[in-house]
Amino acid sequence: MISGLYSAATAMDVAAMKHEASAQNLANAHMPGFRRRIVTQAQFGASMDNALDKMDMSPLPGTAVGSGSEGVVKLDFSEGPLKPTGRNLDFALQGDGFFVVEGPTGPLYTRNGAFQVNEDGDLMTVDQLPVRGVNGTIALPPDTPLHAVMVDSEGRFTANGREFGQLKTVQFADNSILNPVGASLFQAPDNITPEISDSVVKQGFVEQGNVSYMNELVNIMVASRQYEAAQRVLRSIDEAIEKHVNN
Protein backbone atom coordinates (compact mmCIF):
# COMPACT_ATOMS: atom_id res chain seq x y z
CA MET A 1 0.00 0.00 0.00
CA ILE A 2 2.80 2.38 0.86
CA SER A 3 4.36 1.97 -2.61
CA GLY A 4 0.94 2.64 -4.12
CA LEU A 5 0.75 5.79 -2.04
CA TYR A 6 4.04 7.02 -3.47
CA SER A 7 2.99 6.07 -7.01
CA ALA A 8 -0.24 8.05 -6.76
CA ALA A 9 1.58 11.05 -5.24
CA THR A 10 4.13 10.95 -8.07
CA ALA A 11 1.31 10.86 -10.60
CA MET A 12 -0.14 14.01 -9.02
CA ASP A 13 3.25 15.72 -9.23
CA VAL A 14 3.57 14.94 -12.94
CA ALA A 15 0.04 16.15 -13.67
CA ALA A 16 0.79 19.40 -11.81
CA MET A 17 4.00 19.84 -13.85
CA LYS A 18 2.06 19.39 -17.09
CA HIS A 19 -0.54 21.91 -15.98
CA GLU A 20 2.15 24.45 -15.06
CA ALA A 21 4.05 23.94 -18.33
CA SER A 22 0.92 24.53 -20.43
CA ALA A 23 0.01 27.61 -18.38
CA GLN A 24 3.51 28.99 -18.96
CA ASN A 25 3.20 28.28 -22.68
CA LEU A 26 -0.08 30.19 -22.88
CA ALA A 27 1.35 33.12 -20.93
CA ASN A 28 4.27 33.47 -23.37
CA ALA A 29 2.51 32.57 -26.62
CA HIS A 30 2.94 36.13 -27.96
CA MET A 31 6.65 36.32 -27.05
CA PRO A 32 8.72 36.21 -30.27
CA GLY A 33 11.07 33.25 -30.29
CA PHE A 34 9.47 31.55 -27.28
CA ARG A 35 9.94 27.76 -27.23
CA ARG A 36 7.12 25.84 -25.64
CA ARG A 37 7.74 23.74 -22.55
CA ILE A 38 6.73 20.09 -22.65
CA VAL A 39 6.75 17.46 -19.91
CA THR A 40 8.29 14.16 -20.98
CA GLN A 41 7.34 11.13 -18.97
CA ALA A 42 8.17 7.48 -18.42
CA GLN A 43 5.99 4.93 -16.69
CA PHE A 44 3.22 7.27 -15.50
CA GLY A 45 0.57 4.75 -16.50
CA ALA A 46 2.59 1.95 -14.93
CA SER A 47 2.70 3.84 -11.64
CA MET A 48 -1.04 4.46 -11.73
CA ASP A 49 -1.71 0.79 -12.58
CA ASN A 50 0.57 -0.20 -9.72
CA ALA A 51 -1.32 2.02 -7.28
CA LEU A 52 -4.69 0.74 -8.48
CA ASP A 53 -3.63 -2.91 -8.44
CA LYS A 54 -2.59 -2.65 -4.82
CA MET A 55 -6.11 -1.47 -4.04
CA ASP A 56 -7.74 -3.98 -6.40
CA MET A 57 -9.21 -1.04 -8.31
CA SER A 58 -9.57 -0.04 -11.95
CA PRO A 59 -9.46 3.48 -13.40
CA LEU A 60 -12.72 5.39 -13.36
CA PRO A 61 -14.32 5.99 -16.79
CA GLY A 62 -12.68 8.96 -18.47
CA THR A 63 -9.78 9.14 -16.00
CA ALA A 64 -7.21 6.92 -17.69
CA VAL A 65 -3.82 8.58 -17.70
CA GLY A 66 -0.89 8.48 -20.06
CA SER A 67 2.67 7.28 -19.61
CA GLY A 68 5.40 8.62 -17.35
CA SER A 69 5.92 8.50 -13.57
CA GLU A 70 8.73 11.02 -13.40
CA GLY A 71 8.17 14.20 -15.35
CA VAL A 72 11.00 16.19 -16.94
CA VAL A 73 10.38 19.62 -18.46
CA LYS A 74 12.01 20.01 -21.87
CA LEU A 75 11.92 22.58 -24.64
CA ASP A 76 10.31 22.11 -28.05
CA PHE A 77 12.64 23.78 -30.57
CA SER A 78 10.36 23.38 -33.59
CA GLU A 79 9.92 26.58 -35.59
CA GLY A 80 7.04 28.93 -34.92
CA PRO A 81 5.08 30.83 -37.58
CA LEU A 82 6.53 34.02 -39.04
CA LYS A 83 4.60 37.24 -38.51
CA PRO A 84 5.17 40.25 -40.80
CA THR A 85 5.70 43.48 -38.88
CA GLY A 86 7.11 45.90 -41.44
CA ARG A 87 9.74 47.09 -38.92
CA ASN A 88 13.21 47.29 -40.41
CA LEU A 89 14.80 46.10 -37.17
CA ASP A 90 12.61 43.01 -36.81
CA PHE A 91 14.21 39.77 -37.99
CA ALA A 92 13.24 36.12 -38.16
CA LEU A 93 15.25 33.03 -39.02
CA GLN A 94 14.12 30.34 -41.43
CA GLY A 95 15.89 27.12 -40.58
CA ASP A 96 17.78 25.92 -37.55
CA GLY A 97 19.78 28.65 -35.85
CA PHE A 98 19.94 31.44 -33.30
CA PHE A 99 20.91 35.08 -33.10
CA VAL A 100 23.80 35.71 -30.71
CA VAL A 101 23.64 38.41 -28.03
CA GLU A 102 25.99 39.57 -25.30
CA GLY A 103 24.79 38.26 -21.96
CA PRO A 104 26.05 39.41 -18.55
CA THR A 105 28.37 36.39 -18.28
CA GLY A 106 28.85 35.35 -21.89
CA PRO A 107 26.97 34.73 -25.13
CA LEU A 108 23.26 33.99 -25.13
CA TYR A 109 21.18 32.68 -28.02
CA THR A 110 17.71 33.64 -29.15
CA ARG A 111 15.14 33.33 -31.93
CA ASN A 112 13.62 36.64 -30.85
CA GLY A 113 14.76 39.08 -33.51
CA ALA A 114 12.70 42.08 -32.37
CA PHE A 115 15.68 44.41 -32.08
CA GLN A 116 16.09 48.14 -31.50
CA VAL A 117 18.88 50.70 -31.30
CA ASN A 118 20.06 52.60 -28.24
CA GLU A 119 21.06 56.24 -28.13
CA ASP A 120 24.51 55.37 -29.51
CA GLY A 121 23.01 53.52 -32.49
CA ASP A 122 24.00 50.06 -31.21
CA LEU A 123 21.70 47.17 -32.12
CA MET A 124 20.11 45.81 -28.92
CA THR A 125 17.55 43.27 -27.79
CA VAL A 126 14.39 44.34 -25.95
CA ASP A 127 16.31 43.45 -22.75
CA GLN A 128 19.03 45.93 -23.73
CA LEU A 129 21.60 43.26 -24.53
CA PRO A 130 23.97 44.02 -27.44
CA VAL A 131 23.41 41.95 -30.57
CA ARG A 132 26.56 40.28 -31.85
CA GLY A 133 27.64 40.63 -35.43
CA VAL A 134 30.17 38.58 -37.36
CA ASN A 135 32.85 41.17 -36.58
CA GLY A 136 31.61 42.40 -33.22
CA THR A 137 28.62 44.47 -32.20
CA ILE A 138 26.53 46.17 -34.87
CA ALA A 139 26.06 49.94 -34.84
CA LEU A 140 24.12 52.07 -37.29
CA PRO A 141 26.15 54.81 -38.98
CA PRO A 142 25.45 58.27 -37.51
CA ASP A 143 22.28 60.00 -38.71
CA THR A 144 21.04 56.87 -40.49
CA PRO A 145 17.22 56.73 -40.56
CA LEU A 146 15.75 53.32 -39.76
CA HIS A 147 13.81 53.20 -43.01
CA ALA A 148 17.13 53.27 -44.89
CA VAL A 149 18.43 50.14 -43.15
CA MET A 150 18.26 47.07 -45.37
CA VAL A 151 19.28 43.51 -44.43
CA ASP A 152 19.71 40.67 -46.89
CA SER A 153 19.06 36.95 -46.41
CA GLU A 154 22.55 36.43 -44.99
CA GLY A 155 22.09 39.15 -42.39
CA ARG A 156 24.26 41.84 -44.02
CA PHE A 157 23.29 45.42 -43.10
CA THR A 158 23.42 48.20 -45.66
CA ALA A 159 22.29 51.82 -45.63
CA ASN A 160 22.61 54.26 -48.51
CA GLY A 161 24.65 51.70 -50.43
CA ARG A 162 27.14 51.13 -47.61
CA GLU A 163 27.54 47.84 -45.75
CA PHE A 164 28.17 48.25 -42.01
CA GLY A 165 27.69 44.90 -40.31
CA GLN A 166 26.35 41.37 -40.47
CA LEU A 167 24.24 39.43 -38.00
CA LYS A 168 25.95 36.44 -36.45
CA THR A 169 23.77 33.34 -36.54
CA VAL A 170 24.80 29.98 -35.11
CA GLN A 171 23.37 26.50 -34.67
CA PHE A 172 23.94 23.51 -32.40
CA ALA A 173 24.14 19.83 -33.24
CA ASP A 174 21.74 19.18 -30.37
CA ASN A 175 19.49 21.99 -29.13
CA SER A 176 18.58 19.98 -26.03
CA ILE A 177 21.85 21.07 -24.39
CA LEU A 178 20.54 24.65 -24.21
CA ASN A 179 19.16 25.99 -20.94
CA PRO A 180 16.47 28.70 -20.92
CA VAL A 181 17.33 32.14 -19.53
CA GLY A 182 14.05 33.95 -19.24
CA ALA A 183 11.37 33.53 -21.89
CA SER A 184 13.30 33.63 -25.16
CA LEU A 185 17.03 33.51 -24.35
CA PHE A 186 19.13 30.35 -24.08
CA GLN A 187 22.56 29.54 -22.72
CA ALA A 188 24.92 26.79 -23.85
CA PRO A 189 27.35 24.89 -21.60
CA ASP A 190 30.83 26.42 -21.49
CA ASN A 191 32.38 23.45 -23.30
CA ILE A 192 30.03 23.68 -26.30
CA THR A 193 31.04 25.70 -29.36
CA PRO A 194 28.23 26.39 -31.86
CA GLU A 195 28.63 26.19 -35.60
CA ILE A 196 27.82 28.91 -38.13
CA SER A 197 24.20 28.61 -39.20
CA ASP A 198 23.00 28.56 -42.79
CA SER A 199 19.53 29.80 -41.81
CA VAL A 200 17.89 32.54 -43.86
CA VAL A 201 17.37 35.98 -42.30
CA LYS A 202 13.99 37.57 -42.98
CA GLN A 203 13.81 41.33 -42.41
CA GLY A 204 10.48 42.79 -41.33
CA PHE A 205 9.30 39.57 -39.67
CA VAL A 206 9.39 38.02 -36.20
CA GLU A 207 9.00 34.37 -35.33
CA GLN A 208 6.10 33.84 -33.00
CA GLY A 209 6.17 31.35 -30.15
CA ASN A 210 5.59 27.75 -31.29
CA VAL A 211 2.49 27.49 -29.11
CA SER A 212 -0.96 26.29 -30.14
CA TYR A 213 -3.62 27.84 -27.92
CA MET A 214 -6.05 24.99 -28.54
CA ASN A 215 -3.50 22.28 -27.78
CA GLU A 216 -2.39 23.94 -24.57
CA LEU A 217 -5.96 24.39 -23.37
CA VAL A 218 -6.62 20.72 -24.05
CA ASN A 219 -3.39 19.81 -22.22
CA ILE A 220 -4.51 21.80 -19.19
CA MET A 221 -7.85 20.00 -19.14
CA VAL A 222 -6.17 16.59 -19.47
CA ALA A 223 -3.63 17.41 -16.75
CA SER A 224 -6.45 18.47 -14.43
CA ARG A 225 -8.26 15.16 -14.98
CA GLN A 226 -5.06 13.22 -14.43
CA TYR A 227 -4.46 15.10 -11.20
CA GLU A 228 -7.99 14.41 -9.99
CA ALA A 229 -7.69 10.71 -10.89
CA ALA A 230 -4.44 10.36 -8.98
CA GLN A 231 -5.90 12.30 -6.08
CA ARG A 232 -8.83 9.88 -5.86
CA VAL A 233 -6.45 6.93 -5.84
CA LEU A 234 -4.37 8.60 -3.14
CA ARG A 235 -7.45 9.21 -1.02
CA SER A 236 -8.61 5.59 -1.43
CA ILE A 237 -5.21 4.25 -0.39
CA ASP A 238 -5.18 6.59 2.60
CA GLU A 239 -8.60 5.33 3.67
CA ALA A 240 -7.51 1.72 3.23
CA ILE A 241 -4.42 2.30 5.35
CA GLU A 242 -6.55 3.93 8.04
CA LYS A 243 -8.92 0.96 8.12
CA HIS A 244 -5.99 -1.46 8.27
CA VAL A 245 -4.46 0.42 11.21
CA ASN A 246 -7.76 0.62 13.08
CA ASN A 247 -8.35 -3.08 12.63
Rounded CA gap, 180 and 51, in Å?
Answer: 35
C-alpha–C-alpha distance, residues 205 and 225, integer Å:
39
Q: How far apart are CA 230 and CA 238, in angstroms?
A: 12
Instruction: Give the percent of the chain with pLDDT over 70.
Output: 84
Whether the per-residue pLDDT at 20 is higher than 80: the answer is yes
- CB distance 45 to 65 below 8 Å: yes
User: Does the model's pTM come out above 0.85?
Assistant: no
pLDDT higher than 70, residue 189: yes
pLDDT tens-place string over residues 27-76: 999 899 999 999 876 555 555 555 555 444 433 333 334 433 567 888 99
- The whole-chain average pLDDT of the chain stands at 85
Q: b/e for 30-68, b at 16 or more Cβ within 10 A?
A: ebbbbbbbbbebeebbebbbbbbebeeeeeeeeeebeeb
Asked if the model's pLDDT at residue 204 lies above 70, the reply is yes
**Euclidean distance between CA atoms 88 and 49, whole angstroms:** 56
pLDDT tens for 77-118 read: 999 999 999 999 999 999 999 999 999 999 999 999 999 999
Taking a C-beta distance cutoff of 8 angstroms, is the pair 162, 168 a contact? no
